[in-house]
Chains A and B, each alone.
Chain A
Amino acid sequence: MASVYRTEDCQFTVDRDALIRRLGEALQGDNLLVDDEAMRPYECDGLSGYRQMPQVVAIPETVEEVRQVLRTCSEMNVPVVARGSGTSLSAGALPHPQGVLLSLARFNQILDIDHDRRIATLQPGVRNLAISEAAAPYGLYYAPDPSSQIACSIGGNVAENAGGVHCLKYGLTVHNVLEVTMITMDGEQVTIGSEALDSPGFDLLAAITGSEGMLGVIVEIKVKLLPNPPTKDVLLAAFNDVETAGNAVAGIIAAGIIPGGLEMMDGPAIQAAEDFVHAGYPTEAAAILICELDGSADDVEAQREHVCRLLEEFGSEDIRVAQNDDEKARFWAGRKAAFPAVGRISPDYYCIDGTIPRRQLAYVLQEMQKLSDDYGLRVVNVFHAGDGNLHPLVLYDGNVPGEFERTEELGGKILELCIAVGGTVTGEHGVGMEKINQMCVQFQTPDLNQFRALKNAFDPQGLLNPGKAIPTLNRCAEFGAMHVHHGELPHPDIPRF
């Protein structure tokens, strides 16, 4: 297939033989892959619809090697794409055709669990779940829990500002990272943030978090750990229509309750999950809510009674409280397995990641249904209901010519719908290559210019992950020619051709 990169993002001049020679000097042993066969596993990340071979794959083992790779690439003007576990759902770690794919997989050590002070010091390749496992003996855990947590790396989590099902109460990655040490494109090591609760000067840590590998390469991370809540209760409530379930979510929050997790699944998602994991979900329901309450035992008991009352008032006729740990795990199992469950009922699926103001849920679902009908593609919904983050899953068959392209287009329309109701194109998966066109709809020219100026402050040569996350104005002009935003064309000041 043709490259998904635009010609304007591929204006580098690469002498591959010289690059291999120089990197071979910088890296020891077998830390440089140059054969197609060896590089093949790196041609895509979790969004496998997009594939691209790099020039070479570098797998350094030491910080010094990372510095040497970056210095070399800076001197030779070669692009660099950093990669953790490669679980990105937005093609954030898609290689650049003229560049080096820099894998940080060998930085997989937990350097310290300081349980007294609740701080973990990590190499970037450490898996998300491994942090909580290492902290568990001390009654601690790391809060952000993306559904890929068994595989995804903390370095990737920081690069993407990863979320999970507990964000409403415990925040995203940006709220849980204390400090990062990174190497800038010119090979300089800087430490940003600290173990204190704030740092002097600009909040560069916030700029780095979620910067999608475009500002620097992270080589060490400190995160804060939280105590495991003494008690957790899990409730499941069934509703006859999705709108009523949405109202119940608003009602719980209006009553002053912030659940640890509050998830919604629609009818097709319930059915798929039930067929897969047999969680005992009510398959006749149009929507279910899964609500996790955590805290001290007394507190959880009071909240549980309150929430049950509210769910009933808001029209749920089937409210279940998990009676033991097994049942709690079962209530969650269906939700956590929703993606693979959908994978069983369709040859392929495409996961979307928009966020909307919750009050727009009924309208957005209705409009999505229309789009689904128009495109002849089924859409199944799972939803981080507490914080408005939607994950519509579009079902398609990649073997049918043109179906992936239609799916992509439908995905784009859904994201634009999210923007139109006051939301955003990405809640937690990042822009990457996938949503870059929709960035033109969400942001105006001065905003995009400012993003580029900020990028330029860190990486003046534009070598880190080029062609992703922040669209060029040319791209927006071409894409925007087809779109009208708030009654006017975005970026009216750009010549169109």
Chain B
Amino acid sequence: MTSNDHGDTLAQQVADAADNGTPLCIRGRGSKDFLGRTPKGDVLDLSAHSGIINYEPTELVLTARAGTPLAELEAALSESGQMMPFEPPHFGDASTIGGTIAAGLSGPRRPWAGSARDLILGMRLINGQGENMRFGGEVIKNVAGYDVSRLATGSYGTLGVVLDVSMKVLPLPEAEVSLRLDHTEVDGFNAVEQAFRAGLPVSGAAHDGEQLRVRLSGTKLAVDAGIRHLGGEQDDDPTTFWHALRDHRLPLFTDDGPALWRLSLPPLPDTPDLPGKRLADWGGQQHWLRTDASPEQVFGEAERLGGHATCFRGGDREGDVFQPLSPGVRRLHERVKTAFDPKGILNPGRLYAGI
């Protein structure tokens, strides 16, 4: 396994920046520069801090440095018949595990297999004072100390520089199929829920406005039982649609048009009442929307439905990109930010203004 540990150098760079009050923009290979509010500050480059540190298939644990490309991890895992269950999206070939974890991104399998934060077991992290810290570990059950690894997952680098991550991995399914069914959105997601309750191995459920798409992953017998239960037509290649959805390569994502929004909603929600083209994933709990609606309108509708919205691509990247926080939660964010990054130099403003 390769040895490219730049942890000490990176920690020194952060410590120097803290001394000088220089804001840092933490960057792996830049595949997610479009995400969050406009990046600002001197680039702290993690791309060379790369490589798998430890992978023990029978322990179901993999540890890798932040700059390791997802493709490299997936290749190593598939050699041992395993996978990252949260199905991280690839935004181009350059996506790294560090960026994925910092942004807390999960793919279509998430409702049934868990999210990036669910699968994280431990983390090495540089705080805003340039201190190299280690939390969690390489075992599945571990409750020693506050769960900083999960707290930092999805914090967009504003609490610390993710150096290494340890995560739980799982066996690849023995069989997988992708089905197309002529259900409406509401009926379709209800049918998927009933299939899941019947013990069938659902691993994806999306609706593009025309058709319901369902993926089943498990033993051959279980997948066959799912096909019998749900019916519909099978895709020739069970991965094509789901990878295109995961990586935002479907027309909804690639066509020209207004800002792309993500809505994260409670189970079986009402359909969002917003103009524009929409695709529902996660059994109806994640919606992708291309809309001209104002941020206030989208945030308002997400709140009404009991969830939250993110302006994912395009739109005003200087304003609020993530759902504004309630005053009490906002206050906790400010204090937690100060606890990790007292000088406010790590990705300042990438998540919220002032954080």
Interface on A for B, CB 8 Å cutoff? 116-119, 139, 160-161, 163, 167-168, 171-172, 174-175, 184, 188-192, 194-204, 206-207, 209-211, 227, 229-231, 250-251, 253-254, 256-258, 295-299, 301-303, 355-359, 384, 387-389, 422-431, 435, 439, 442-444, 446-447, 449-451, 453-458, 469-470
Q: Is the CB of B336 within 8 A of A117?
A: no
Contact between chains at B150 and A356 (CB < 8 Å): no
**B137→A200 contact, CB < 8 A:** no
- Number of B residues contacting the other chain (C-beta, 8 Å)? 83
B328's nearest neighbour on chain A, judged by CB, is A190
State A194–B154 Cα separation when bound (angstroms): 16
A175 with B139: in contact, given A117-B268, A442-B144 (CB under 8 Å)?
no
> Scoring B residues 337 to 355 as 1 if CB is less than 8 Å from chain A, else 0, what string do you get?
0111000000000011001
Q: Which 6 A-B pairs have the closest CB atoms?
A: A206-B150, A256-B171, A195-B266, A427-B141, A457-B335, A296-B199
Report Cα–Cα, A302/B223, bound state, in Å.
Answer: 12
Segment among B71-79, B107-115, B231-239, B271-279 that sits at the interface with chain A: B107-115
Which residue of B59, B140, B147, B159 contacts A161 across the interface (Cβ within 8 Å)? B147
How distant is the Cα of A454 from the Cα of B155 in the complex, in angstroms? 15
Contact assessment for B139 and A355 in the assembled complex, using a CB-CB cutoff below 8 Å: yes
B145 at the interface (CB under 8 A from A): yes
A187 CB to nearest B CB, Å? 11
How far does the alpha carbon of A345 sit from the alpha carbon of B310 in the complex, in Å?
59
Quick check: B221 and A301 within 8 Å, CB to CB?
A: yes
A446–B132 CB distance below 8 A:
yes
Contact B336 A457 (CB under 8 A): yes
**Cross-chain contact B339 with A256 (CB below 8 angstroms):** no
A interface footprint on B147-180 (CB within 8 Å = 1, 0 otherwise): 1101101110001000000000011101000000
**Closest Cβ–Cβ distance, residue B54 to chain A (whole Å):** 9
Within 8 A of A (CB), among B62-105: 81, 104
Q: Which residues of A contact B174 (CB under 8 A)?
A: 256
Whether A454 contacts B147 in the complex (CB less than 8 A), given A196-B308, A201-B333, A358-B59, comes out as no
| CB proximity of B49 to chain A, nearest CB, Å | 19
Which residues of A have CB within 8 Å of B268?
A: 116-117
B132 touching A357, Cβ below 8 Å: no
B114: chain A residues within 8 A (beta carbon): 171, 175
Are B155 and A202 touching (Cβ within 8 A)?
Answer: yes
Which of A160, A201, A426 has the most CB atoms of chain B within a 10 A radius of its CB? A201
Residue B245 is within 8 A (CB to CB) of chain A in the complex: no
The reply on B222 being an interface residue by CB < 8 A is yes
B138 CB–A CB distance under 8 Å: yes
Residue of A whose beta carbon sits closest to that of B323: A200
B: residues with CB less than 8 A from A are 56-61, 81, 104, 110-111, 114-115, 117-118, 127, 131-135, 137-148, 150-151, 153-155, 159, 170-172, 174, 196-201, 218-222, 224-225, 264-268, 282, 285-286, 306-308, 310, 322-323, 325-326, 328-329, 332-333, 335-336, 338-340, 351-352, 355
Let me know if A194 and B145 touch, CB within 8 A.
Answer: no
Q: For the complex, what is the distance from the CA of A191 to the CA of B303, rounded to whole Å?
A: 14
**Given that A117-B267, A197-B110, A296-B200 are contacting pairs, would A258 and B170 also be in contact in the complex, using a CB cutoff of 8 Å?**
yes
| Residue contact A444 to B134, C-beta cutoff 8 Å | yes
**With contacts A203-B117, A457-B338 known, what are 4 further pairs, Cβ within 8 A?**
A198-B117, A387-B140, A442-B144, A470-B146
Residue contact B333 to A202, C-beta cutoff 8 Å: yes
What is the chain B residue whose CB lies nearest that of A443? B145
A358–B332 touching, CB < 8 Å: no
CA distance A117 to B307 in the complex (A): 14
Question: How many Å from the CB of A89 to the closest CB on chain B?
Answer: 12
CB neighbours of B199 from chain A (8 A):
227, 229-231, 295-297, 299
- Cα(A214)–Cα(B196), bound, Å: 38
Contact A302-B219, Cβ < 8 Å, known A201-B352, A253-B58, A427-B139? yes
Contact between chains at B225 and A192 (CB < 8 Å): no
Per the bound structure, the CA–CA distance linking A453 and B137 in Å amounts to: 21
How far apart sit A423 and B224, CA to CA, in the bound complex (Å)? 40
| Contact A195 B267, beta carbon cutoff 8 Å | yes
Q: Which B residue's beta carbon lies closest to that of A447?
A: B133
Q: Which residues of B contact A172 (CB under 8 A)?
A: 141, 143
25 example contacts (A-B, Cβ-Cβ < 8 A) are as follows A168-B140, A191-B326, A195-B266, A199-B308, A206-B117, A207-B151, A211-B146, A227-B197, A227-B198, A295-B222, A296-B200, A298-B219, A298-B224, A299-B219, A357-B61, A357-B139, A387-B139, A388-B139, A424-B141, A427-B139, A431-B143, A439-B145, A442-B144, A446-B127, A447-B145
Given contacts A230-B198, A256-B174, A258-B170, contact A196 B144 (CB under 8 A): no
CB-nearest residue of chain A to B264: A196
B127 touches A355 (CB 8 A): no
Are B143 and A426 touching (Cβ within 8 A)?
Answer: yes
Contact B218 A299 (CB under 8 A): yes
Q: Tell me which of A160, A211, A457 contacts B339 (CB under 8 A).
A: A457
Task: Report the separation of the CA atoms of residues A175 and B117 in the bound assembly, to the nearest whole angstrom.
Answer: 9
Q: Closest CB-CB distance, B355 to chain A, in whole Å?
A: 8
B222 partner residues in chain A, CB cutoff 8 A: 295-296, 298-299, 302
Establish whether residues A426 and B144, one from each chain, have CB atoms under 8 Å apart when the complex forms: yes
A385 to chain B, nearest CB (A): 12
| Contacting pair A197 B111 (CB below 8 A) | yes
Q: Look across to chain A and name the residue whose beta carbon is closest to the beta carbon of B198.
A: A230
Name the one of A160, A258, A431 contacting B171, with C-beta atoms under 8 angstroms: A258
Q: Is there an interface contact between A227 and B196, defined as CB atoms closer than 8 Å?
A: yes
Collect the chain A residues with CB atoms within 8 Å of residue B200's CB.
296
A205 nearest in chain B by CB position: B150
Cβ–Cβ contact A359 & B134, under 8 A: no
Alpha-carbon separation in the docked complex, A251 to B171 (Å): 13
> Given the complex, which residues of B lie within 8 Å of A206, measured CB to CB?
117, 147, 150-151, 153
In the complex formed, the residue of B with least CB distance to A456 is B339
Q: Nearest residue in B to A215 (C-beta to C-beta)?
A: B146
Q: Which residue of A lies closest to B111 (CB)?
A: A197
A258 to B59, CA, bound (A): 12
Which of A116, A119, A206, A251 gathers the greatest number of chain B CB atoms within 10 Å? A206
Tell me which residues across on chain A come within 8 A of B225, comparing CB atoms. 296, 298-299
Contact between chains at B307 and A194 (CB < 8 Å): yes
Kindly state the separation between the CA atoms of A457 and B111 in the bound complex, as whole angstroms: 31
Contact among A203, A430, A449 for B155, CB-based, below 8 A: A203
Distance of B56 from chain A, by nearest CB (Å) = 7
* Interface pair A203/B140, CB less than 8 Å apart: no
Known A-B contacts A201-B322, A295-B199; the reply to A431 vs B144 at CB < 8 A is yes
Contact assessment for A425 and B139 in the assembled complex, using a CB-CB cutoff below 8 Å:
no
Residues of B close to A425: CB separation below 8 A: 144
Residue of B58, B154, B333 contacting most chain A CB atoms (<10 Å)? B58
Contact of A200 among B117, B140, B308 (CB under 8 A): B308
**Which residues of A have CB within 8 Å of B132?**
446
The answer to whether A188 and B328 touch (CB under 8 A), given A230-B199, A299-B219, A303-B219, is yes
The answer to whether B328 touches A422, judged by C-beta atoms less than 8 angstroms apart, is no
Cβ contact within 8 Å between A196 and B285: yes
CA distance A427 to B127 in the complex (A): 26
Residues of B contacting A204 in the complex (Cβ-Cβ under 8 angstroms):
151, 329, 332-333, 336
- Point out the residue from A188, A229, A424 that lies within 8 Å of B137, measured CB to CB: A424
* Known interface pairs A200-B323, A207-B151, A457-B339; A387-B117 also in contact (CB < 8 Å): no
Query: Which residues on the A side are within 8 Å of B146 (C-beta)?
Result: 207, 210-211, 451, 454-455, 470
Task: Determine whether the beta carbon of A171 is less than 8 Å from that of B338.
Answer: no
